[in-house]
């Protein structure tokens, strides 16, 4: 019989129905401070919205740039290399945060708008 894996609501991965010991801790988890590639992978797996609130999240590089989750996934090799070697080349992701009120926040890689939780979008009529 093949083993089955699932991720519980606590972010840990379990094998079959064994709840006593996780197969992998923090498999899908949001790390506010990112120091390792494992923390980056877990944060990317968790997704770009906080749960249960649904607040939009974004990644922050060591030079203060904002990155959309899709750009981080597309540039994972560069980011992971920068984290491993502690490079300050603009790709080293150091944090994940929620965009509460910055209605003008855009990804510094692709220039795509990063949605905010509370800032209202101004209409073109105003």
State what percent of residues in the chain have pLDDT above 70: 94
Read off the pTM: 0.84
pLDDT band at 1; cut points 50, 70, 90: low
By the 8 A CB rule, do 75 and 36 touch?
no
Comparison of pLDDT for 92 and 1, the residue scoring more: 92
- The Cα–Cα gap between 4 and 81 comes to 32
Better-predicted residue by pLDDT, 75 or 24: 75
- Predicted confidence at residue 121, as pLDDT, reads 57
- In 1-126, where does DSSP find H-type helix? 37-46, 69-74, 76-84
Average pLDDT over residues 62-80: 96
Beta bridge partners of 56: 49
Beta strands in the chain (DSSP E): 5-7, 13-15, 57-61, 66-67, 93-98
């Amino acid at each position: 019989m093949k083993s089955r894996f699932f991720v519980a609501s606590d972010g840990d991965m379990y094998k079959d129905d064994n709840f006593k010991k996780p197969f992998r801790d923090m498999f899908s988890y949001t790390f506010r401070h990112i120091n390792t590639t494992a923390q980056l992978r877990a944060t990317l797996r968790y997704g770009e919205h906080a749960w249960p609130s649904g607040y939009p999240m974004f990644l922050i590089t060591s030079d203060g740039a904002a990155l959309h989750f899709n750009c981080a996934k597309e540039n994972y090799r560069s980011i992971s290399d920068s984290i491993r070697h502690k490079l300050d080349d603009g790709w080293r992701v150091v944090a994940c945060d929620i965009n509460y009120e910055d209605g003008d926040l855009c990804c510094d890689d692709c220039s795509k708008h990063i949605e905010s939780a509370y800032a209202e979008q101004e209409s073109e009529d105003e």
